Structure 1
Amino acid sequence: MSDNRVKICGLRSADDVTAAAQAGAAYVGFVFFPKSPRHVQIDEAATLAATAPVGLCKVALTVNASDAELDAITAQVPLDMLQLHGTESPARVAEVKARYGLPVMKAIGVADASDLPQIDVYSAVADQLLIDAKPPKDAVLPGGNGLAFDWRLLAGRKYWQRPWMLAGGLTPENVAEALRMTGANQVDVSSGVEVAPGQKDPTLIRSFVAAATAL
């Protein structure tokens, strides 16, 4: 098995967590964003996080969350990382990291080459970066839309200061190609392992992790 690492995001049940862990995922993500079909309440996430085996990195995905919202999440849910998936500024990323003492992953939407400089900007303050497809202008969700961007934009660009993760439109069928094309060694998937919005499929999770770690 390779050193490639997989994050399964948007988990909503204990079975989801078990499936991700048994498949060999390195990270699991819980979504705190009411507009998302993958949204979980704080008490639900606390229960799910408690079922995660030791060594599985538990990530909270938030979107432009206030300190009060983050206080409530971090007070109740045993987390290993915060993922900021909104329009948070570099200063806000630094604030969150300092306030909560947890590693922070910042999501950056990419549609074309003009979006790439933001990766360098945020690499100065975030612990990890998640390079995702930029959502359409009318999209309700900032991620989890099942959209990919042109992976050739990232080809040969292994120069960012922080570990980074590729996301956006990944599936068991295309993840190997995405890894080869971008040079990524971490990937994030949500809708690509679902049979309906918010409904994860253990067979798809196993297939995705197997494909991502076979290289």
Structure 2
Amino acid sequence: MSLLVKICGLSTRETLDVALQAGADMVGFVFFPPSPRHLSLETARELGRQARGRATKVALTVDADDATLGNIVEVLQPDILQLHGKETVARLRDIKRMFGLPVMKALPVETAADLAPLPGYAAVADRILFDARAPKDATRPGGLGAVFDWHVLENLDLKLPFLVSGGLNADNVAEAVRVTRAGGVDVSSGVERTPGVKDPEMICAFIRAARATEELMVR
């Protein structure tokens, strides 16, 4: 079974091409103004064309309204919508029906109690992304480089495909996969020189490290 590797927050043709050439399965594009990785629709259109047919295009939004989602879907033509805000189960259902696209719901995790909403989301979402819970004073819910306790997911019985995110990098991705048995990993700040600025060598190193963990997925 192959591990899905997602590089999120890509914003330039050069770094997107590095991620694609290195074998990323998913490439994520952020549409959330407080984020240093936020894309304009014009840039999204260009990058979407570049990635078409080469990897799964993921559009990340945070509590976006229908009009915003519609504009993103039109220009990027994503393969999946990543909902990274406080969207309810009903909202997920509405978005799937309205746009006809699969959705990946991000669930912030700090303790086992944070998994309480999981059954409701899992009944509607196509994938779940477990991310570190942001501090209360944070201006955005993810991409902060924080790691959560992966042991919270250690005995998780989830039939739905899931990814792990939050503070991953080339040095710790193997341990994250070993503990969680996640089917995918998602990185953003862990392959950046400074917030929002991806480093080509770090992207390649992360993908190499993630690929090396695939043997851990054989139970």
Q: Give the TM-score, by structure 1 length.
A: 0.97
Structure 1 gaps, min length 5: none
Other structure's SS at 1:209 match: helix
Q: Report how far residue 71 of structure 1 moved.
A: 1.1
Per-residue CA shift, 1:83-114, capped at 9, x if unaligned?
10000000000100110001100000001010
Alignment-derived partner of residue 191 in structure 1: 189
Q: How many angstroms apart in 2 are the aligned matches of 1:49 and 1:101?
A: 18
Q: How many angstroms apart in 1 are the aligned matches of 2:163 and 2:197?
A: 23
Q: How many angstroms apart in 2 are the aligned matches of 1:103 and 1:155?
A: 26
Structure 1 residue runs of 4 or more that deviate by more than 2 Å after TM superposition: none
RMSD: 1.0
Q: How many angstroms apart in 1 are the aligned matches of 2:89 and 2:72?
A: 21
Other structure's SS at 2:81 match: strand
Alignment-derived partner of residue 125 in structure 1: 124
Per-residue CA shift, 1:22-64, capped at 9, x if unaligned?
1111000000000000000111111001011514000100000
Alignment-derived partner of residue 96 in structure 1: 95
2:179 maps to 1:181: yes
Which residue identity does 1:202 align to in structure 2?
P
State the percentage of identical aligned residues: 50
Q: Report how far residue 161 of structure 1 moved.
A: 2.9
Q: How many angstroms apart in 1 are the aligned matches of 2:86 and 2:159?
A: 21
Alignment-derived partner of residue 217 in structure 2: none
Q: CA contact under 8 A between 2:9 and 2:37: conserved in structure 1?
A: yes
Q: How many angstroms apart in 1 are the aligned matches of 2:36 and 2:199?
A: 15
Alignment-derived partner of residue 116 in structure 1: 115
Bigger shift: 75-84 or 85-94? 75-84
Alignment-derived partner of residue 61 in structure 2: 62
Q: Report how far residue 185 of structure 1 moved.
A: 2.1
Alignment-derived partner of residue 73 in structure 2: 74
Q: Report how far residue 118 of structure 1 moved.
A: 1.7
Q: How many angstroms apart in 2 are the aligned matches of 1:146 and 1:126?
A: 25
Structure 2 gaps, min length 5: 214-219
2:161 maps to 1:136: no
Other structure's SS at 1:131 match: strand
Q: CA contact under 8 A between 1:37 and 1:198: conserved in structure 2?
A: yes
Alignment-derived partner of residue 36 in structure 2: 37
Q: CA contact under 8 A between 2:20 and 2:54: conserved in structure 1?
A: no
Q: How many angstroms apart in 2 are the aligned matches of 1:51 and 1:12?
A: 12
2:211 maps to 1:213: yes
Q: Give the TM-score, by structure 2 length.
A: 0.95
Other structure's SS at 1:12 match: coil
